[in-house]
Amino acid sequence: MKRNWPLHVLVMPAIIIAFIFNYVPLGGIIMAFQEYKPWFGFTGSEWVGLEQFKKIFAFAEGRQVIWNTLVISSFKIVFQLIIPIVFALLLNEVRIMFFKRSVQTLVYLPHFLSWVILGGILLDLLSVDGGLVNQFLNFLGIQSIFFLGDGDWFRVTVIATDVWKDFGFSAIIFLAALSGINPALYEAAVIDGANRFQQVLFITIPSILPITIVVATLALGNILNAGFDQIFNLYNPLVYDKGDIIDTYVYRQGLLGGNFSYATAVGVFKSIIAFFLIITGYKLAHKYAGYRIF
C-alpha cells in the first residue's frame, strides 16, 4: 500500500463514481417489496412482500415482454456469433492488404454510431411514405412494407440492423484468434495436398473453436438484454405486442407511468436471472474452453 499509493489515488475517482452511481442506488431495490409512494418515502410506504413480483406473471403484458426479450435477444446472440465468424473467415482469406483494411474500416464504422443517429436514419430509410427501401421495393413491383409498424417485421428489422451495426466490431476477436494460428499447420496441410477449403475446415475452424465457445457461453448473460437504446429509438405503440422488451417496459411503467414498485420488481427479476445466467456462462466457458477470470 505504501509503495503503490499513487496508483490507488489514481483509481480512487473511478471507485467513488462507481460507488455513487452503481452501489448507492441499490438501496432503491426496497421499492420492489413495497407499494411505494414518493410522498411517504421508503420508510412510510406499505410493505407488500412479493406481491409486485407476482404481478409480473399475472399481467399478460408482463409475460409478453419477457417472451419478446427472449426472442429478440436470442436471435441477436445467434446471428452476432455466426455472421462475425463467417466474415472473419472470409476476410482472413483476402490477400490484398489495401482491400482487406478498407473493408475492415467500413464494417467497423457503424459500431461507433449512436442508436439515436442510426434510429433517425432508419426511420427515414424504412418509411412507408417515401422511404428509400420501400421505393426500391415498389420499383421491383413489391408492395411497401411497414417495417417499423408491423410487429413481425419490426422484430426482423431490429435483429437485422443490430447485426449490421456490430458484426464488424464483433469480428475483431475472431480475426485476432485467426492471426494466432501457427502457420506451420497450413504449410503441413499444403504438403499433404489440402486445398484452401480443406485448410479452413480442418485447421482454421477447429483452431478458433475454443474462443467461439467462450463468446457463445458468455453471451448467455445478455439473453435478457435485447438492446434498450435500439428498441427505444425505433419502436412505437403499434409494435408493443411484438417489440416491447423488459427495459423499455420498465421505463414506461416506472418513469412514465409512475408505477415505481412494479417497475423495480421487473428490473430486479431481470437482474437476478441475468446473474445466474452469467455464472452459468462462466462455468460452461471454464468447462469447455478452459476460460476463467478468477
Distance, in Å, from the CA atom of 227 to the CA atom of 115, rounded to the nearest integer, reads 10
pLDDT at 20: 94
Q: Which amino acid is at 25?
A: P
Query: Is residue 122 pLDDT above 70, yes or no?
Result: yes
Among candidate residues 219, 203, 183, 199, the one with its CA nearest the CA of residue 82: 219
Query: Is residue 17 pLDDT above 90, yes or no?
Result: yes
Question: DSSP of 70-127, one letter per residue?
Answer: HHHHHHHHHHHHHHHHHHHHHHHT---HHHHHHHHHHHHGGGGS-HHHHHHHHHHHT-
The answer to whether 280 and 272 are in contact (CB under 8 A) is no
Q: In whole angstroms, how far apart are CA 24 and each of 21, 123, 264, 270? A: 6, 38, 15, 19
Mean pLDDT of 29-49: 87
Rounded to the nearest 10 degrees, what angle do helices 60-92 and 97-108 cross at? Answer: 170
Query: Is residue 292 pLDDT above 80, yes or no?
Result: no
- Mean pLDDT lowest for which of 157-161, 182-186, 236-240, 289-293? 289-293
Distance, in Å, from the CA atom of 69 to the CA atom of 84, rounded to the nearest integer, reads 22
Q: Give CA 197 to chain center in angstroms.
A: 32
Distance, in Å, from the CA atom of 294 to the CA atom of 284, rounded to the nearest integer, reads 14
Segment (H or E) for 35: strand 34-35
Among candidate residues 228, 223, 274, the one with its CA nearest the CA of residue 250: 228
Query: Is residue 14 pLDDT above 90, yes or no?
Result: yes
**% of the chain residues with pLDDT over 70:** 98
Instruction: Please indicate whether residue 18 or residue 212 has the higher confidence score (pLDDT).
Output: 18
Query: Is residue 275 pLDDT above 90, yes or no?
Result: no
- The tens digit of pLDDT for each residue in 157-203 reads 999 999 999 998 889 889 888 888 888 888 898 888 888 888 888 88
Based on its alpha-carbon atoms, the radius of gyration of the chain, rounded to whole angstroms, reads 24
pLDDT at 288: 73
Query: Is residue 138 pLDDT above 80, yes or no?
Result: yes
pLDDT at 9: 92
Q: In whole angstroms, how far apart are CA 214 and each of 41, 68, 210, 259, 282? A: 44, 26, 6, 39, 8
pLDDT at 294: 59
- The tens digit of pLDDT for each residue in 245-270 reads 989 999 998 888 888 999 999 989 88
Which residues lie below 8 Å from residue 189, measured CB to CB, with a gap of 6+? 198, 199, 202, 203
pLDDT tier for residue 277 given thresholds of 50, 70 and 90: confident
- The tens digit of pLDDT for each residue in 55-87 reads 888 888 888 998 999 999 999 999 999 999 999
pLDDT tier for residue 39 given thresholds of 50, 70 and 90: confident
pLDDT at 293: 64
Q: The whole model's pTM is what?
A: 0.85
pLDDT at 84: 92
Question: DSSP of 165-182, one letter per residue?
Answer: HHHHHHHHHHHHHHHTS-
pLDDT at 157: 92
